[in-house]
Structure formats: C-alpha cells, structure tokens
Amino acid sequence: MATQKAHNRIPELDSLRGIAALVVVFHHYIGLLITDRRTTHFLGIRYLFPDSLGQNAVIVFFLLSGFVLSMPAVNGKPQPYSVFMIRRIFRIYFPYLAALLLAIFGDYMFHGTITRSPWFNQFWSTPIQWRLVFQHILFLGVYNTNQFDPPFWSLVYEMRISFVFPVFCLFALKLSIKWTIVIAALFSIVTQVIVLAHSSPYIVAFPATLHYAGLFLIGIALARRHKSICEYFDSIPNTDHAVLAALSVILFVYGGILLNGLLSNVPGKDLAVFDDWATAAGAAGFIALSSSSQLFKQYLRWPPIHLLGQISYSLYLLHFIILLAVVHLLYGRTPLLLILAISLPVTILASWIFYKTIELPFMVLGRKLSGKIDYLVKVTPSAEPG
C-alpha cells in the first residue's frame, strides 16, 4: 500500500502548492500595505498583484485536491470510503483545529482595531464569541470566517466536498472527460442562477459549494489525462513549455479580470464564478506543467521550493495569525514595511515547527489508523449466501 502511494505521488505538485500558499501570503501583506497607507504610491503593485490573486491561489488548491485525491481511483485502486475520510480528517481537519486554537488565543489577547486599514481591522475585531467558535469547529451554517483567520474560508468547502468526494469521483470516472467538464460548467451556471434568485446567505452557501466542487472535477479530468499530457510535453521543445507557462500565468493572474470586463453588462457578475473559470484554466496549465514538463519539474525539485511545498498547508493556516499578532505587537512603533519583513521569516519558521509537531504527526497517525481499517476491510470475509 505504501509502495503504491509513493509510486503515485508527484512531489512537484507539493512545490506548486507551496508557491500558491506563498502567493496568498504576499497577497495579504500587500493588502495591508495598500489599505493602511491609503496612498497611490503603492497602487502600482496591484498591476502585478491584483485584488483577486489570493482567491486565484485557492483555486489552484481546489484543482490540486481534485487531481491528487482522484489519482488512486484513476489508477484503478480507489480507497475505501472509511480509509479516505480518516486520512482526510487527520490531514486537513485536526491541523486546522490546532490553528483555530492559536487564532482564538490571539483574538483573546489582541482583539480591537489597531491599524489605519479598514480591511485589516475586521480581523480579531471583537472579543471571542463562542457561538462563532462552535461554528468554526463544526463547519455548520453561514458564519464570519474572517474573525479568527481569513484563510479558513476555503477549508469549509474543502472539508464539505471531501465528505462526498469518493462517490463524486467514481461518478466522474464513469463519464467522458468532455462531459465531466460540461457538468463542472453546469455547476457554476446553477450557482449563478440560484444566487441571482435568492438573497439569503443560507441558500447561497449550497451553490457556492457546488461551484467549487466543479473545480475539483477539473482536477479529476486532468488526472485522467495525466499520461497523455506527459507524452505531449515530451514531444514538444522546451520553448513551447515556456510559452505555455507564460500563457498560464496570464490566465491565472489576469484571466478573471479580463473576463469580468467582458461580462461587465451581465447581471450578477459580482459573484465571479465565471471569472474563476478563466483562473482555473491558468491553474490547470500550472498543474500540467508541474506534473509533466521535465523542464519545470527540475526547478520545482529545488530544495527551498520543495521545503515550501512540505510546509504549504501550515504556511496557509498560520501566516495571517502571525501577521495579526506581529502587527498588534509592533504597529505604531515600527515601520509597516519592517513589520512585514519580520513577519515573513517568523511565519516560515513557525510553519516549519507546526508542520513537524502538528501536521506531520497527524498525517502519520491518520495513515496508521486508515491502514488498520483497510486491513480489516480486506480480511473480513464476505457473508455467504444462506
């Protein structure tokens, strides 16, 4: 079982996830810098780092999840549901709870407005509300995911989709790739229609999950074509790899903005589900290049990038908590640029410690428990007909 897992693993995708997590980090740093200074001096940064860039990086996470989680089933060895869920809970949920505990402690210690940034001041803005804590623990209802740690919003959808992913994946594998993409597009269209027809956030929460599930479907489609994608990249020169990479970057960073401009007269465009599709095209290009192009795989194997990939989930969970804490401790006494310069290495170090002490032990424990479950499933004799 471990051999098969190692065989299926594509470490370069971990590196891609690490780069995407770092994009989220810089997105939040730049957001604080611009909204706090309230000056056009820094606005040119937005040409390179648009407001949507953090959201775009999360789309990479969703496609990667669909790709990686479907690989065992694509290769003809789907995991039993119990095995899948145990690993997923220990991989995602328990480290999330540990980060939530840190965020709650930070809110308890430092809540209140501190900067000149209206955007930044919405985080850790009030004393702890225990109802909100329980909602964060249970992922139930529609609630303020910004109060403790804004990156938590994507984990709500990640876990909700994980609960149905094995069935979802097996259904997708029975369809042609063309129909898989069509259904993913229909998910987004249904999302748009429901949101336009209803204003209740409780109604809107379901189609948003449906929309992001469609992005998981795109990841599954990529996994199914992985072998042919590898063959394609082996058959073209490296210059074509570079051209495809440049096109992917343009779609990833600016595709949603361009599509939003084209749809400027369409009602309900602010939901941005269609913008996400332009971004997803760029993200799909990144996954194809990272998993198939020997030119880019060698760069993604560079040890610092590989380390970034290892700690990517911890980095995603912790970076804003640390930023909030450092700002509350130093703001007004230390230049903001220096605060950001201090926050980054502290975040990298804290993420590495969190990975080693929290994330990795939970992953190992999840594998052990799921291995026992898998063994029991295999050795339990089926019921004989009477």
Q: Which range has the worst mean pLDDT, 29-38, 203-212, 238-247, 276-285?
A: 203-212
pTM comes to: 0.90
Most confident residue range from 134-143, 193-202, 242-251: 242-251
Rounded Cα distance between 1 and 376, Å, is 14
Encode 82-108: b = buried (16+ Cβ within 10 Å), e = exposed.
Answer: ebbbbbbbbbbbbbbebbbebbbebbe
Going from N- to C-terminal start, the domains of the chain cover 12-45+54-70+81-375
The least confident of 10-14, 143-147, 166-170 is 143-147
Residue spans of beta strands (DSSP E) within 138-282: none
Could you report the per-residue pLDDT of 259-303, keeping only the tens digit for each?
Answer: 776 665 555 445 567 788 999 999 999 999 999 999 999 999 999
pLDDT tier at 178, thresholds 50, 70, 90: very high
Q: Is pLDDT larger for residue 347 or for residue 48?
A: 347
Instruction: Provide the pLDDT for residue 269.
Output: 47
Band (372; pLDDT cuts 50, 70, 90): confident
- pLDDT score for 289: 95
Whole-angstrom Cα distance, residue 89 to residue 95? 9
Of residues 167 and 381, more confidence is placed in 167
What is the mean predicted confidence (pLDDT) over 213-242?
94
More confident residue, 173 or 2: 173
The SS3 call for residue 331 is: strand
Report pLDDT for 47.
67
Residue 235 pLDDT > 80, yes or no?
yes
pLDDT digits (tens, 9 = 90+) for 146-158: 899 999 999 999 9
Query: Per-residue pLDDT for 312 more than 70?
Result: yes
Tally Cβ neighbours within 10 Å of residue 376: 11
The mean predicted confidence, pLDDT, of the chain is 87
Answer yes or no: is pLDDT of 382 > 70: no
Alpha-carbon distance of 378 to 326, in angstroms, equals 51
The predicted pLDDT at position 5 comes to 43
**Maximum CA pair distance of the chain?**
80
Is the Cα dihedral 352, 353, 355, 361 positive or negative?
positive
User: How far is residue 275's CA from residue 298's CA, in Å, rounded to a whole number?
Assistant: 31
- pLDDT given for residue 201 in this prediction: 54
Q: Cβ distance 180 to 221 under 8 Å?
A: yes
pLDDT at 384: 42
